[in-house]
Amino acid sequence: MSLPSDHEEALIARAKEDPEYFGELYDQYFPQIYRYVASRVRSQPLAEDITSEVFFKALRALPRYQHSGHPFSAWLYQIAVNAITDHYRSRRRAEDSLDEVPEPVDPTPAVDDEVANRMGAQAIWDLIEALPEQQRIAMSLKYGEDLKLAQIGVIMGKTEGAVKLLIFRGTASLRQHLLTSRDDGPEGNHG
Amino acid sequence: MAEFPSWLRRRNTPPDGVDPELWEILELDPSGRAQHLLGTADKIQAAVRSGPRPQPDPSYRAHLRASLMEEARLHTRARPPRRRRFGLALGTGMGLAGLAMLSLVLVSVVVLPPGARSVTVQASVQGNPRVPVTQAIQLSFNLPMVEASVVHGLKIDPALSFQARWPDPKTLVLAPRHDLVANVSYVVSIARYAAKAQSGATALSNIVIPFGTVPTSSTALGYPPSLVAVDRVAAATGAESLSYAPDGELLLLATGQVVDQGSQLPASPGSTSATPPAGAPSTAGALTAAPAGGVIYALTSPQAALAGNALGPVASPDSQNLAYWAPTTSGTATLEVVPIGGQGQLLSLASSGYAVPQAAWINDSELIYSSEGHLFEVNLDGQTLSVFPFVKLGANGYFSIAPDGQSLFSEPAGVPTVYNLSSGAAQPLPGLQGIPTWSPAGALLAYVAEQDGHQVIDLAGASSAQPHQLLVAPAGVGLSQLAYSPDGSYIAYVAETPGTGSQVGAVDVATGTSALLSTRTGMSQPVWSPFGSELSALESSPSGASDILSMQLSNPPQASSAGGLAARAIATASQLAQLQVTAGPTAPAAIAGLLAPNVSIPASQLLPGSFDRFYAVSSAPTSAGSESYQVDLELVQDATAASPAAYMQEQVTVALGGASPLIAALSQGQLTTLPTGPLVLNATTSTGTSGATTFLLQFDSDLDPVTVGPQSVTLTDGGQAVSNLQISYQPSTRQLTVTANQLPAGPLVLTVSAPLADVNHNPLSVPYQLSLPAVPAG
C-alpha cells in the first residue's frame, strides 16, 4: 500500500534532509519489497540480501530521486527488479560455466481446474521461471503484486502497451505449457 | 496504437470481479479466447500468491533499519551543514493539545523537527498464524506515545481481557488475563486518532494487527481415548523399560525380580544372582563404569526370563527373536539374539564400541547397529557389512530408523538430523529437542520442546524443518516419554506435575485434544500394544517395586451410562462452521498428517492463495474401509485495514494409497464475514449420576459476566422451558456451564443469545442453539 501522494512527496523531501524520515519510508515499504523479492527468489537469506541491497541503493540514490507523480514504491520495485535480474544473471553465468543440466519441470495435472490450482502451484512457479526474463518480471509484478500497467511500465522502463504484450505472451505461453503438461501427465492423476 | 492490429480495438466488457486491465491484456488474444486465458491467469495468480515466500529472520528487519539509519547519518554528517528550519507543525486532529504543547515548547525550548511524523507500529505477533496461547502481545511504536490514548482506543477481537503495560513510552505489552483461545484468528486494532504520539503525530490509518493462535491447546475440550479398565500384569523390582513384541508379547527389562500374582518367576538368567546364559559374556567383576544390564522378561503367559545382562531389547518383526546388547567389562557391548519362544540357541553377532549402542531390525533376519561412528548391517549368521556411509552419528552412537525404513534420525555433532536412506539427503532439524519418536508411517517425528516457559509436544515432518505444535502443557508441567499409537492417532505421554507426580496422558494427533488417562501417579514408560487397544506402563510404589499395568482403552469415549442421555451424551458444534462435529473415530495417521499444515500434504495444496490459514474441522473415511477420506476445512482470511476477517467452508476428498495423497474432489461454500461478538467454539453435554444434565459451552471471547444469566440462556425440554437452571461462567477457561437438575423427557434445545456480550460490549450476533433429540423409549 502506498502513502497518500502529497504526504509521500513531503516525506521524501524531508528524508533527503533527515535520515530519520528515510526510516519512515523504510517502515512503510519494507514489507512489500521484501515480499516481492522473497516471492521471486524463494530463499530467505537471498531475499534478505537483495532487500538490503535495494534499500541501501535507494538511500544512496535518494538525493537524486525526482518525484514524478508515480508512487515511491515504483522506484523501489525498479531497484528490486534490477537487483534480482543481476542476481540471476550472475548465477546463470556461474551455472553455465559448470554446464549444469536444468532441473526438469514436473507439473502435476489434477482432476479439475480448481484442484490444478493447488496441485500445480509448484509446476506453475517452475514454468514462470522458465519464461523470458522480461515476461517473467512483468507477470510477477502484475499477478503477484497487483500493480497497475502504468506502474509496471515505470519500473521496467517500457510503455504500457509493451507491458501488456509481455504479460499476454507470458500468459499464453504458460497456458500452452500447462495444456501440454496435462496431456503428458500420468493417467492416474486425472482421477 | 498504430503498430497494433485492428482486432486490438475490439473490446468486450470484463466479467464481474475481473481486473479491467488484466482483461484488456487477455483480449489481445487474436483468436478471441480471452475467457480461456482468464482461467490460466487465475491459476498463475493463485500460484504466485500462494507460493513459498520465506519470512525474514525476526531480527533482520530491525537490523537492516539500524544499518540504514547509521549510513544515513554518515551521509548527513558528510554533507555541508544546512540551515535548519525549526518549527512546529501541528498534526491533523491535534487541536487544543497542540496549543498546549506549543506553550510547553516555548517554555522549555524544546525544538521539534519540521512537521510531525506519522505513527507506525510493529507487533510481535503481526501476521503470525501460530501464536502460542500463552504469549503476550508486544507493540513497538516508532515514537513515544500518549499511553492513555492508545490503550483507550485499542481493541482486541475476539474480546480479550488484558493488562496493558508500558516498559517505555514506545513499547506497549498486552498481557492477556487468561490464555488466548487456540485455533482462533485475533485482530488487535487501534483507531487512527487514538494512536497518538507525544509529539502530536497520529497514524495515517487505523492500525490493524491480525494474528492467529496455534490450532490446539491443552485447555481445549476433546476426545482422547478413555480408560475402561486397568489390569495389574505383574510387579517387579528395578523395572527399567517396557516394550511389546509385534505379536503382543509384553517385554520387561528389569534389574531385579518379577513377581506374578504372588509367585516369583524363575531366577533371572543374567542377573547378578543368576548364571548368565551360555555364550553370554560374563559380568563377573564388571567395572562400575559399564552400564548394568538387566533381565528381559516375557510377561504374557507363560511368563519367562529370556535373557540376562541385557540392554535395549528389540523384538524381530516376526516376534521370533529378541535382540539386545550385553555390556562388557571393557565398556563396550555385544549384540546378542535369543529366540523368544525358548527354542534355539543364543547368538552372539557383533560388538560395538559404544557403551549403550542401538540396534534395529530391518527384516526378520537382519539388524542395523551402530559402532565406532558408523552403521553396520548384520545377519543371523554374524556376517557384517558397513551400510549407509553418508549417515553421521553423534558421540553416543544413537540412531532411530523410521518404521517405514526410509529415514533415519541421528544427532551428528549434536545437530538433530533426518537422513533419507534412499537418497542420502540430510535434513537438519535445528528446532528439535530431546529424543524424538517416529510416527508409524515414518512421516513425522514427535518430540518435547520448551516454549515460553511451557513444555510442548511438536511434530516435525521428516523432510521439513517447520514443526507443528500439537500440545502445550500448563505451566510447570513436564512432558516426556512420548509413544505413538500403532495407527498414529494418538501420542501417549508422561506428564509430571509438581506436587502430584507423573501421570500418563494421551493427545489426539488429529485435533490436539488431550487428557490424562487416569488419576494414578508414579507412572512411566507408556507403550502401546500392537493393535492400540491397550497401553501398558510402569507404576512405582513406595516400596521401590513397580507394578506393570495394562490399561484397556476405549475410543470413541463412552458417555456416562447414568440417565437417559447416554446415546447422545457427546455432541459438539461449531458456531463458526455452522455444522455439527461429532466425536467419531479419529482419523488414521495419513489424515492426521493432513490436519497439520506443512506435513504430509503441503499447506499450499489445501490453502488457496487468497486465504491466510486453514483449520481442519473433521475427517472421516468416505465409506467403511475406504482409502478415501473426506476432510472438512475452514479457510480463514485475516482482517486487514480494508476488510474484516472472513471464512469459508471447504470439503476436500483425499485419496490415499498412492505414493502420495491425492486431492480427488473439492467443494467450497460461500465466503462469509465473521459474525461479531462472541462465538461458541464447541459444546459438550453429559448426564451425572444424579440425573442432572450439564451443558458446557466453550467461547472464543472473554464474556461480560453481567450478561450471563437466564436472560441470555434458555433450555426447553419438549418445548417446555426448563426452570431452575444453574448457569455459571468460568472466566479463566471461557466456559459457560448450564445444569438442569432433572432428566429430560423430550427433545432438548439450549439457546444462548443476546444480551450475552463480551467484555468489549459486543452482543452475540448469531444466536447459538444446540438441539438434542428425544431419548428413545426404553
Distance separating the N- and C-terminal Cα atoms of chain B: 84
- Which residue is associated with the grid cell 498481557? B175
Asked whether residue B729 falls in the same domain as residue B764, the answer is yes
Asked whether residue A69 falls in the same domain as residue A135, the answer is no
Interchain proximity B68–A121, CB inside 8 Å: no
Asked whether residue B723 falls in the same domain as residue B700, the answer is yes
Q: Report the gap between the CA of B676 and the closest CA in chain A (Å).
A: 27
Residues 6+ apart with CB under 8 A from A5: A69, A71
Q: In whole angstroms, what is the distance from residue B135 CA to residue B162 CA?
A: 12
How many other C-beta atoms are found inside a 10 Å radius of the C-beta of residue B99? Answer: 11
ipTM for the predicted complex comes to 0.76
Cβ under 8 Å to B: A residues 14-73: 14, 17-24, 26-28, 30, 34-35, 38-39, 42-44, 47-48, 51-52, 55-56, 59-60
At B366 the pLDDT is 87
CB-count exposure of residue B362 (10 Å: 0-12, 13-18, 19+) = middle
In a domain, B401, yes or no: no
The CATH number of residue B157's host domain is: 2.60.40.3710
Is the minimum CB–CB distance between A106 and chain B shorter than 8 Å?
no
Residues 6+ apart with CB under 8 A from B395: none
Please report, for residues B86, B252, B430, the alpha-carbon distance to residue B245 in angstroms, rounded to integers and kept in the order given: 83, 11, 33
C-alpha cell at A35: 515480499
Q: Report the gap between the CA of A29 and the closest CA in chain B (Å).
A: 11
Residues 6+ apart with CB under 8 A from B549: B230, B231, B232, B233, B520, B523, B536, B537, B538, B539
At A92 the pLDDT is 59
C-alpha cell at B592: 492426521
Closest to B660 in 3D by CA, of B508, B484, B463, B458: B463
How many other C-beta atoms are found inside a 10 Å radius of the C-beta of residue B98? Answer: 17
Interchain proximity B40–A34, CB inside 8 Å: no
Segments of chain B with pLDDT less than 50:
1-10, 77-116, 217-224, 261-290, 555-600, 603, 776-778
Asked whether residue A10 falls in the same domain as residue A52, the answer is yes
Interchain proximity A42–B54, CB inside 8 Å: yes
Interchain proximity B29–A142, CB inside 8 Å: no
At B104 the pLDDT is 31
Q: Which residue has the higher pLDDT, A74 or B111?
A: A74
Distance separating the N- and C-terminal Cα atoms of chain A: 42
Whole-number CA gyration radius for chain B: 32
Closest to B204 in 3D by CA, of B190, B188, B186, B215: B190
Asked whether residue A24 falls in the same domain as residue A56, the answer is yes
Closest to B478 in 3D by CA, of B432, B524, B431: B524
Interchain proximity A34–B56, CB inside 8 Å: yes
Chain A CB contacts of B39 under 8 Å are 113
Range of the domain at B291: 239-366
Chain A CB contacts of B660 under 8 Å are none
Q: Are B451 and B440 in contact (CB under 8 A)?
A: no
Asked whether residue A25 falls in the same domain as residue A78, the answer is yes
Chain B CB contacts of A4 under 8 Å are 204
Q: In whole angstroms, what is the distance from residue B508 CA to residue B491 CA?
A: 7
Interchain proximity A59–B68, CB inside 8 Å: yes
At A10 the pLDDT is 81
Closest to A59 in 3D by CA, of B116, B67, B56, B204: B67
| Cα–Cα–Cα angle for B670, B676, B677, rounded to 5 degrees | 140
Asked whether residue A84 falls in the same domain as residue A113, the answer is no
pLDDT tens per residue, range B224-245: 455 556 777 788 888 888 888 8
pLDDT tens per residue, range B564-595: 222 122 222 223 322 222 222 233 333 333 44
Closest to B281 in 3D by CA, of B369, B377, B359, B346: B346
In a domain, B52, yes or no: no
| Total length of chain A | 191
Q: In whole angstroms, what is the distance from residue A28 CA to residue A72 CA?
A: 10
Q: Are A70 and A154 in contact (CB under 8 A)?
A: yes
Asked whether residue A18 falls in the same domain as residue A95, the answer is yes
| Count of domains forming chain A | 2
Interchain proximity A121–B50, CB inside 8 Å: yes
The CATH number of residue A61's host domain is: 1.10.1740.10
Mutate one of A141, A171, A173, A180 to test the B interface: name it (highest B CB count within 10 A): A171
Asked whether residue A55 falls in the same domain as residue A118, the answer is no
Asked whether residue B248 falls in the same domain as residue B344, the answer is yes
C-alpha cell at B623: 465409506
Question: Of the candidates A71, A101, A131, which is a domain's last residue?
Answer: A101
Asked whether residue A71 falls in the same domain as residue A6, the answer is yes
Asked whether residue B360 falls in the same domain as residue B248, the answer is yes
Chain B CB contacts of A26 under 8 Å are 64-65, 68
| Count of domains forming chain B | 5
Helices (H), B394-551: none
Question: Of the candidates A36, A71, A101, which is a domain's last residue?
Answer: A101
At B109 the pLDDT is 28
pLDDT tens per residue, range B496-552: 988 888 888 888 776 667 777 777 788 899 998 876 777 889 988 777 788 888 887
Question: Of the candidates A82, A101, A120, which is a domain's last residue?
Answer: A101
Asked whether residue B599 falls in the same domain as residue B647, the answer is yes
Range of the domain at A82: 1-101
Q: Report the gap between the CA of B670 and the closest CA in chain A (Å).
A: 15
Closest to B227 in 3D by CA, of B491, B530, B550, B707: B550
- Given a cut of 70, is residue A161 above it in pLDDT? yes
Mutate one of B36, B48, B607 to test the A interface: name it (highest A CB count within 10 A): B48
Q: Report the gap between the CA of A8 and the closest CA in chain B (Å).
A: 11
Closest to B299 in 3D by CA, of B231, B232, B230, B233: B233
B9: left (phi over 0), alpha (psi -120 to 50) or beta: alpha
Phi, psi for residue B320 in degrees, rounded to 5: -85, -30
Interchain proximity B43–A7, CB inside 8 Å: no
- The SS3 of residue B419 is strand
Interchain proximity A44–B21, CB inside 8 Å: no
- The SS3 of residue B636 is strand
Q: Are B171 and B141 in contact (CB under 8 A)?
A: yes
Interchain proximity A143–B49, CB inside 8 Å: yes
The CATH number of residue B729's host domain is: 2.60.40.1220
B102: left (phi over 0), alpha (psi -120 to 50) or beta: alpha
Asked whether residue B653 falls in the same domain as residue B687, the answer is no
Asked whether residue B668 falls in the same domain as residue B698, the answer is no
Q: In whole angstroms, what is the distance from residue A7 CA to residue B135 CA?
A: 36
At A113 the pLDDT is 45
Closest Cβ–Cβ partner in A19, A48, A165 for B69? A19
- What residues pair up with B504 in beta bridges, in sequence order? B494
Tell me the pLDDT of chain A averaged across its residues.
74
CB-count exposure of residue B231 (10 Å: 0-12, 13-18, 19+) = exposed
Closest to A138 in 3D by CA, of A123, A121, A160: A160
Asked whether residue B246 falls in the same domain as residue B185, the answer is no
Asked whether residue B667 falls in the same domain as residue B693, the answer is no
In a domain, B439, yes or no: no
Maximum separation of any 2 CA atoms in chain B, in Å:
104
DSSP A143: I
Asked whether residue B657 falls in the same domain as residue B685, the answer is no
Q: In whole angstroms, what is the distance from residue B48 CA to residue B35 CA?
A: 20
Cis-peptide, bond into residue B556, ω within 30° of zero: yes
Interchain proximity B71–A172, CB inside 8 Å: no
Buried b (16+ CB within 10 A) or exposed e, A89-109: eeeeeeeeeeeeeeeeeebbb
Asked whether residue A56 falls in the same domain as residue A149, the answer is no
Element (H, E) at B324: strand B321-327
Q: Are A151 and A71 in contact (CB under 8 A)?
A: yes
How many other C-beta atoms are found inside a 10 Å radius of the C-beta of residue B771? Answer: 13
Q: Where are the beta strands (DSSP E) in B191-303?
A: 207-212, 226-237, 239-244, 250-254, 258-260, 263-264, 294-298
Asked whether residue A64 falls in the same domain as residue A129, the answer is no
At B674 the pLDDT is 64
A160, amino acid identity: E
B632, amino acid identity: D
Mutate one of A14, A33, A59, A143 to test the B interface: name it (highest B CB count within 10 A): A143
Asked whether residue B136 falls in the same domain as residue B174, the answer is yes
Interchain proximity A171–B44, CB inside 8 Å: yes
| Nearest residue in chain B measured CA to CA from A147 | B21
Asked whether residue A52 falls in the same domain as residue A39, the answer is yes
DSSP B92: T
Residues 6+ apart with CB under 8 A from B258: B234, B235, B236, B252, B264, B265, B295, B297, B299, B303, B305
At B712 the pLDDT is 93
- Which residue is associated with the grid cell 510387579? B235
Closest to B155 in 3D by CA, of B106, B104, B210, B108: B210
Buried b (16+ CB within 10 A) or exposed e, B568-595: bbbbbbbbbbeeeeebeebbbbbbbbbb
In a domain, B345, yes or no: yes
Asked whether residue A120 falls in the same domain as residue A33, the answer is no
Please report, for residues B81, B323, B420, B513, B748, the alpha-carbon distance to residue B424 in angstroms, rounded to integers and kept in the order given: 62, 27, 5, 36, 61
Q: In whole angstroms, what is the distance from residue B737 CA to residue B698 CA?
A: 9
Closest to B322 in 3D by CA, of B330, B310, B333, B332: B310
In a domain, B203, yes or no: yes
Asked whether residue B251 falls in the same domain as residue B206, the answer is no
Residues 6+ apart with CB under 8 A from B172: B138, B139, B141, B145, B147, B150, B151, B164, B165, B166
Q: Report the gap between the CA of B564 and the closest CA in chain A (Å).
A: 46
Q: Are B614 and B554 in contact (CB under 8 A)?
A: no
DSSP A186: -
- Which residue is associated with the grid cell 496455534? B214
Question: Of the candidates B317, B347, B366, which is a domain's last residue?
Answer: B366
